Amino acid sequence: MKRNGDVIESFKEMALDWKVPDPTNRYCNPGVSEPAEIEYHEHCEPSNLCKIIWNLTECHSVVPPQPYYEACVASGCSEQHPSTECQSMQTYAALCGLHGICVDWRRQANGQCEASCAQDQVYKPCGEAKRNTCFSREVVMNTLPSQNNTPVFVEGCYCPDGKILLNDRDGICVSVCGCTAQDGSVKQPREAWEHNCQYCACDEATLNISCFPRPCAKSPPINCTKEGFVRKIKPRLDDPCCTDTVCECDIKTCIINKTACDLGFQPVVAISEDGCCPIFSCIPKGVCVSEGIEFKPGAMVPKSSCEDCVCTDEQDLATQTNRIQCAPVKCETTCQQGFRYVEEEGQCCSQCQQVACVANFPFGNVTIEVGKSYKAPYDNCTQYTCIESAGQFSLTSTVKVCLPFEESNCVPGTVDVTPDGCCKTCIDLPHKCKRNVKEQYIVHNNCKSAAPVPVPFCEGTCSTYSVYSFEASEMEHKCICCHEKRSHEVKVELVCSEHMTVQFTYVHVDECGCVETKCPKRRT
């Protein structure tokens, strides 16, 4: 239904007919699409929000409430659009305001349809349709339809009492109209300020800002005559808004002649006295130069194999490099034991070459020449021999093993050592005591070994004599028997019957010898 009461089928055309002109609302888009089909429950209970329409009785005679109430109920019962109840109520209140009837329906909605405003604006349910700004204070906006000069009310966000909109774009409320400065602050009419080296002022009539450059004193003319200096315009230190023409060094304008330095020298850069251009020159590094190589002071300089050369701190006035001091090589002619210094033709210094073997003993080291032998004083049985093969020296040792020696088996007074001093020797007794072995079955308590067992025994004669002792004034008898000197026990298994065996232990003789024993006293 249009405002004149005509019922039409186009929702879009109907919506545009009811559009409320609002110069402060730049988001109102006339492009309205046809609504989608709304599904709702047939037996839906109307909400308390929609019932507020029936409380707005002062508007019922001007705007029939029934169609809007039904639309509100349908919106609330819709599964797809449950939040459009507030829009239905807002539409009905807007139509009442167009007819000069103020309805504050949001206050009765218990916070369900709260209106939010910018920080410095307040909500008014029945505000004036015209909204003055600092730029339209004398213009009366009477574009809304009214009859018989009936006032028109429009709900929305308004500046608090005593304030006015600065413009129709930013929604800023100000107490006094002024100009918006470059930093966003509001300047009073006829107020002047400085910004970016400009004098600015707020025009009282147009509320526009006019700026002009701040005047600066002219700098005197200047000529740059020194090499490398050019004229440049730079901000003044005491007043950055103004500039001065100064002479400043620009190395790009210099003609630079770089010099390649010889070995032992390094380039240095200096500034000319009458300009700012760099001047290159070469100065000594304080090093020595030999065979195209630089050496620092104290470093060894290879010259000749027969000389030791070192770089000094002293400068050669002719070459301006450091002097190299050389001295003959001192050869080490002292060789370690077993080596001999052998001079070689064409060499400044020769080397120590091995010529003998060195044997290490607890009492010290002994040099043994090639092909010769040596015995330690405390060991006549070990002989050390030095052998050389293909320049390699080796020390070999030969140990002589002596035969077992029993002095008791010797004829008294015949004990001696072999010519090399290693082994003892003597004249053996005719029948000396010795160890023999016989094999026999061991029988004990009717038990018998399964096989013959080797049983060692001592057999032989020993020296027995009688001699008169002048000290004792009597005959001294010495009896020496053939006895075992070393033995151990051996266990053997004896068979007593088919199912019984026992362990038997006997003495096994390991060594025999003549052992002195007490002679029996002679009976007279």
Could you read off the pLDDT of 235-247 as tens digits, one per residue? 888 888 898 888 8
What predicted TM-score, i.e. pTM, was given to this entire model? 0.35
Same domain, 443 and 495: yes
pLDDT exceeds cutoff 80 at 444: yes
> Residues 66-91: pLDDT tens digits?
988 888 888 878 755 556 788 888 88
How many structural domains comprise the chain?
Answer: 2
Q: Is residue 493 part of a domain?
A: yes
Position with higher pLDDT, 59 vs 41: 59
Task: Pick 407 or 285 by higher pLDDT.
Answer: 285
CATH of residue 477: 2.10.90.10
The mean-pLDDT minimum among 21-30, 90-99, 162-171 falls in 21-30
The reply to whether 437 and 395 lie within a common domain is no
Over residues 252-269, mean pLDDT? 86
**pLDDT tens, position by position, 323-376:** 999 988 888 888 999 998 888 877 788 888 989 999 988 888 999 899 898 888
Alpha-carbon distance 378 to 366, whole Å? 14
The verdict on 390 and 441 lying in the same domain is no
Supply the pLDDT for residue 387. Answer: 92
β 424-425/307-315 pair status: unpaired
Q: Is residue 475 pLDDT above 60, yes or no?
A: yes
139 DSSP assignment: -
* Radius of gyration from C-alpha coordinates of the chain: 68
Q: Is residue 294 part of a domain?
A: no
**pLDDT recorded at residue 495:** 92
End residue of a domain, out of 351, 380, 399: 399
Confidence category of residue 148, pLDDT binned at 50, 70, 90 = low
Domain that holds residue 380: 339-399
> What confidence tier does 433 reach under pLDDT thresholds 50, 70, 90?
confident
Q: Is residue 73 part of a domain?
A: no
Among 399, 422, 443, the domain boundary falls at 399
Within a domain: 129 = no
206 vs 189: CA distance, rounded Å = 9
Considering the chain, what is the average pLDDT of its residues? 82
Query: Could you tell me if residue 179 is inside a domain?
Result: no
Q: Confirm whether 201 is domain-assigned.
A: no
Which residue is it, tokens 């315009």? 233
Q: Is the pLDDT reported for residue 32 higher than 80?
A: no
Q: For every residue of 436-474, which 3-state class applies, written as one string?
A: EEEEECCEECCEEECCCEEEEEEECCCCCEEEEECCCCE
Print burial letters for 459-490: b (CB count within 10 Å at least 16), e (below 16): ebebbeeeeeeeeeeeeeeeebebbbbeeeee
pLDDT at res. 7: 56
Summarize the confidence of residues 312-316 as an average pLDDT.
93
CA atoms within 13 A on the CB side of 82: 7
Together in a domain, 501 and 459: yes
User: Do 452 and 496 have their domain in common?
Assistant: yes
For the chain, the residue count is 524
* DSSP secondary structure letter of residue 267: E
Instruction: Say what the pLDDT of residue 456 is.
Output: 92
The DSSP result for 330-359, as a single string, is -------TTEEEE--TT-SS-EEEE-EEEE
pLDDT at 376: 86
> Directed axis angle between helix 85-98 and helix 66-77, to 10°?
160
Domain identity same for 394 and 464: no
Residue 446 lies in a domain: yes
Q: Examine the pLDDT at 123 and tell me if it is beyond 50.
A: yes
Q: Is residue 500 exposed (0-12), middle (13-18) or buried (19+ Cβ within 10 Å)?
A: exposed
322 located within any domain? no
Residue 44: band (very low, low, confident or very high) from pLDDT cuts 50, 70, 90: confident
> Could you say which of 357, 380, 399 is where a domain stops?
399
What pLDDT score was predicted for residue 505? 93
